A and B are shown apart, each in its own frame.
Chain A
Amino acid sequence: MLKLEHIDKRYTEHYALKDINVTFNPHETTVIVGPSGSGKSTLLRSLNLLERPDSGQYTIDDRTIDLSQPLTTETLLWVRRKTGMVFQQPRMFDHLTIMGNMIEAPVHVLKQSKAQATKHAHELLAAVDLDNTADRYPYQLSGGQTQRVAIARALAMAPDYLLLDEPTSALDPELEAQVLRVLNDLAHENQSMIIVTHNMDFARHAADRMLFLEDGEINFDGTPDEFFNNPTERINRFLNAFKFNQNEA
């Protein structure tokens, strides 16, 4: 369980997050949506402390971290082992092969043996249908392929929660579909996931729970059924903007 209480994050001009209180349950897929600049990414990045909130409490399992205090390296590394992150861009380590990317952290962070890490990596790559790319370098793969590797790389650390920050918004629709299929499979395997996305179709299909963020506040927290079929006036406007844009295109 991940629990955020009274999370504040201020930049000089504005609040990125304003008194956020939310609990993420295990084995659920939570989809976070909202307009640009609403704090979605900041919220997600706060969960593995790439972004450091100014204050608030963060509870993982039965350990509570006071975010207004300086954090020890040990705490930081512990949080990051609990949470895997997939970014908008795949962020492959360009100097390592795909296999090198996969086993880098398992070998050097989890101290797995190379053989053990490699075996597990092959399984994960096979699951995203890319086992044949193990010996290639990232530049030899397409954007959609590297993003699938990035997901597999995060899963290699066996994180309790997989965090994804607009994982498909840099991809064209065909490649996006490949990545979404992988995520959909993961959702059905009950991998705990928290996803920031603009893809409403995906949200509708994969989400167990929807969060709508605006101006650093959670404006909606409920089921996708409620979100899409019985939306508030504000969410309706948000959803219509998507439809309008799609008809235009």
Chain B
Amino acid sequence: MFQFIATYAPQLIVAGIKYTIPLALISFVIAVVIAGAVAILRSYIPHATGFGKLGWHILKFILGFYVWIFRSTPMLVQLFVVFYGLPKLGISWLSPSGWSAAVMVLSLNTGAYASEAIRASISSIPDTQREAAAALGMTDRQIFLRIILPQATRISIPTLANSFVALVKDTSLASVVTIVEMFYLSQQLAAVNFEPLQMYLLVAVIYALFVTVLSFPQRYIQRWADRFVKEQR
């Protein structure tokens, strides 16, 4: 047993550090940027009229469609479409490597979910805050960036942390687009050593360790973000 762990755990951990973690971190950063932008744009109530208003409607429809399509289809299918499907269009710059296909799908998928979380936290800030700021002569932009967003950010942290945990585990799907991350490596090893039970249990434990370690910062981020609310525990 010890021999087994000593033999295989280091290889898996190296694969995790080389692929799983970078994949998760890079995708998460992109996802948060996408989610923030989508949530802000979808929350914005435009004052524009005429063509400006029409433009906003079209933009909001497109964003809503993006969120809908990524939330209502399996990520595995999305990966297949991007990695195996897009090259069929014959446009070379659209033909992603396994790596870029994985980052693209993981970040767009997580971004779709996270945008809904951020949008919900933005709309959870009571309108009285907006009114109070408006009464002080602040512009819509100032109100949003300086009053609403900081408070919404705090509320969205637990959900975003949840998305991140899910994302770390979802990187295992990248195995289907030829990335030898932890899970793919464990499959390859199990095919050689004929110990699928021990092999997959070991990789499960290592995923759990990774998730636990990667979740540590959440506590500190949350504590910092909660500085202006009453202790709730």
Contacts and interface: CB of A to CB of B under 8 A. Distances in A.
Interface stretch (B18-26, B146-154, B173-181): B146-154
A137 interface: yes
Contacts of A153: 136
B153 to A, nearest CB: 9
A138 B128 CA distance: 15
Given A89-B128, A95-B150, A137 B228 contact: yes
Interface string A137-152: 1110000000000000
Most B CB contacts (10 A, CB to CB) among A81, A87, A108 go to A108
A109 B137 contact: yes
B136 A154 contact: yes
B228 A91 contact: no
Given A108-B146, A139-B229, A91 B129 contact: yes
Contacts of B131: 50, 87, 91
Nearest to B145: A108
B190 to A, nearest CB: 50
Contacts of B48: none
Contacts of B135: 48, 50, 80, 84-85, 87, 154
A230 to B, nearest CB: 36
A77 B139 contact: yes
A73 B139 contact: yes
A128 interface: no
Interface in A65-96: 73, 77, 80-81, 84-85, 87, 89, 91, 93-96
B137 A93 contact: no
Nearest to B153: A95
Contacts of B154: 95
Contact of A157 (B128, B136, B142, B150): B136
Nearest to B140: A73
Contacts of B134: 50, 80
A31 B129 CA distance: 26
A170 to B, nearest CB: 12
Contacts of B142: 108-109
A104 interface: yes
A105 interface: yes
Interface in B105-151: 128-129, 131-139, 142, 146-147, 150-151
A93 B133 contact: yes
B230 interface: yes
B233 interface: no
Given A87-B128, A137-B228, A139-B228, A95 B136 contact: no
A96 B228 CA distance: 7
Interface of B: 128-129, 131-139, 142, 146-147, 150-151, 154, 227-230
20 contacts: A48-B135, A50-B131, A77-B137, A80-B136, A84-B135, A84-B136, A89-B128, A93-B133, A93-B147, A94-B151, A94-B229, A95-B147, A95-B150, A95-B151, A95-B154, A105-B137, A105-B138, A109-B138, A109-B142, A139-B230
